[in-house]
Amino acid sequence: MLNYLLTSSLSLALFYGFYILLLQKEKAFQFNRFYLLGSLLMALTFPLFKLPYFPNLVRGEKDSEFVFYLSQMQVPLSNQSSFSPNWINISLVTYLAGVLFFAYKTLVQYGKLLLFISKQKKKKKGKYILINTNGQYPTCAFFHFLLWNNKCGISIGESKEILNHELTHINEKHSLDILFVEILKIVFWFNPLFRFYQKAVSENHEYIADHSVIEHSSTEEYISLLAKQVIQQIEFSPANHFNKSRTLKRITMLKTNKTENYWKLLASIPLTVLIFTMASCEKEELTATTPHSNESMVASEQPTLSTKQLEDSNEIFTVVENKPEVNGGTTALYKGLAKNLVYPDEARKLGVEGRVYLQFIVNEDGSISDTKAVRGIGAGCDEAAVEAFQKTSNELGWLPGEQAGKKVKVKVVLPIIFKLSK
């Protein structure tokens, strides 16, 4: 879960940063609308996809090496501490409390508006329903309801422009966008990026509505109307207000005459591919739970051999004839890991889970070198995995791999899953 939150947050930050730097000032408002909503969905779903990831397949190394993954095997732990990860429970309670608080706050806002609407006289006007607010609410659009402040004292011409503005919100179904972002704000209340997204989505809605108005009226007249609007708004996010504190931004955008830079729009494609690759490059592993503890650790990897071409005396090898083996076989290796691996206290306290990819080289003499975590999860798990493997290898020993009757160096990758039971 922690990895998912970190990955999705990073993806969201990259998408939002791209919007601020390249798209925010562009007049491709419909594109920006779907970019903002789409990037929210992609940032939250990309980490759920899994793409093959082979951290050991690295070019440019001087030594001649074969690369393969150990056969899959579960490792039950028998030496974990009985410490109860209370921080997990505390975090869960805090999260749920936050969800309930922000859900209540949002429901109160919606409830007040819906209660007001239910008590007012309504007039059916084609695709929308008109409600005069008599100054109790500013002019705004809420789904198919048009709340009209009939006490604002504006001319007939100005009323038509404001009406066209609000009808654009209704016809474009902008309230659905706002509701969608509101729900995400509740679920991810601890992430401020969703509030930035809400502001960006709301601003873009206003740009869309403003440019819809000037298609049928004078730009200067409409800018004049915006400039003299009295700021009487109340902070209520579910509705689209005509009067916004961001009026100056809207006026600036209306005065902007530049054309769309299509290269900026197209640049979002490689960005999406990059973020998808970054977020989903992770190998699926099989997991197991220990029968006598509330935590488990599993080592697993590719069941098939994966070799890297190597150059040795101008000869290229593509097949490993004899793979390196640990004395006693993989069963002995995993029993040794089960004995030596300990779930770090820090990781349990913080609720850290995930995969640690160990990479090591079995040399020509059977010795082990360059043992390291090429991809880890921190909180002491990387070091614990390396230490347990080194200790197990020293206890058992390895038989080197051979190619064409010659002992060769072989690089091996061992993924280990650290997992806390729910």
Q: Each residue of 322-376: pLDDT tens digit? A: 788 888 888 888 888 878 888 888 887 787 878 888 888 888 888 888 888 888 8
Is the per-residue pLDDT at 309 higher than 60?
A: no
| Three-state SS at 374 | strand
Q: Is residue 92's pLDDT more than 80?
A: yes
Distance between CA atoms of 163 and 159, rounded to whole angstroms?
A: 6
Type of residue found at 414:
L
Strand residues in 16-72 grouped as ranges (E): 65-69
Beta bridge partners of 131: 147
211-247 pLDDT tens trace: 999 998 888 888 888 887 644 444 455 655 554 557 8
Residue 124: the pLDDT is 93
Could you give the 3-state DSSP secondary structure of residue 19? helix
Contact of 75 with 340, CB cutoff 8 Å: no
CA distance 409 to 402: 8
Give percent above pLDDT 90 in the chain. Answer: 36
- Judged on CB neighbours under 10 Å (0-12, 13-18, 19+), 365 is exposed
Across 40-44, 159-163, 214-218, 335-339, least confident range: 335-339
Which residue from 156, 147, 64, 77 is spatially nearest to 112, judged by alpha carbons?
147
Q: How confident is the model at residue 154 (pLDDT cuts 50, 70, 90)?
A: confident
Strands, DSSP E only, in 121-280?
123-125, 128-132, 140-142, 145-148, 240-241
CA distances from 133 to 118, 122, 142, 145 (A): 12, 10, 13, 12
What's the pLDDT score for residue 239?
A: 57
The CA distance from 227 to 398, in Å, is 79
Span 193-200, mean pLDDT? 95
The top-scoring range by mean pLDDT among 117-121, 261-265, 320-324, 326-330 is: 117-121
Q: Does residue 118 or residue 302 have the better pLDDT?
A: 118
Report how many helices (DSSP H) and strands (DSSP E) the chain contains, helices first.
Answer: 13, 15
Per-state percent for the chain, helix, strand, coil, to nearest 5: 45, 20, 35
Question: CA nearest 368: which of 345, 397, 405, 344?
Answer: 397
Q: What is the dihedral of CA 158, 159, 164, 170, to 10 degrees?
A: 140
Per domain, the residue ranges of the chain are: 15-34+87-267, 65-84+281-420
Q: Could you give the angle at which helices 193-214 and 247-255 cross, rounded to 10 degrees?
A: 50
- Look up tokens 């590719």; give the residue: 302
Distance CA 80, CA 188 (A): 33
| Rounded distance between C-alpha atoms, residue 137 and residue 62, angstroms | 73
CA distance linking residue 303 with residue 72, whole number of Å: 6
Is residue 290 predicted with pLDDT exceeding 50? no
Alpha-carbon span 183 to 167, nearest angstrom: 24
Instruction: List the beta bridge partners of residue 359.
Output: 372, 413
Each residue's pLDDT tens digit, 365-422? 888 888 888 888 888 888 988 998 899 889 988 888 787 778 888 888 888 877 776 5
- How does strand 354-362 pair with strand 368-375? antiparallel
- Does position 289 have pLDDT exceeding 70, yes or no? no
Beta pairing, strands 398-399 & 368-375: unpaired
Q: Alpha carbon 184 to chain centroid distance? A: 12
Structure tokens at 144: 């198919």
Segment among 96-105, 203-212, 233-242, 244-253 with least mean pLDDT? 233-242
More confident residue, 321 or 131: 131
Is the pLDDT higher at 108 or at 385?
Answer: 108
Burial label, 233 (beta-carbon count in 10 A; 0-12, 13-18, 19+): middle
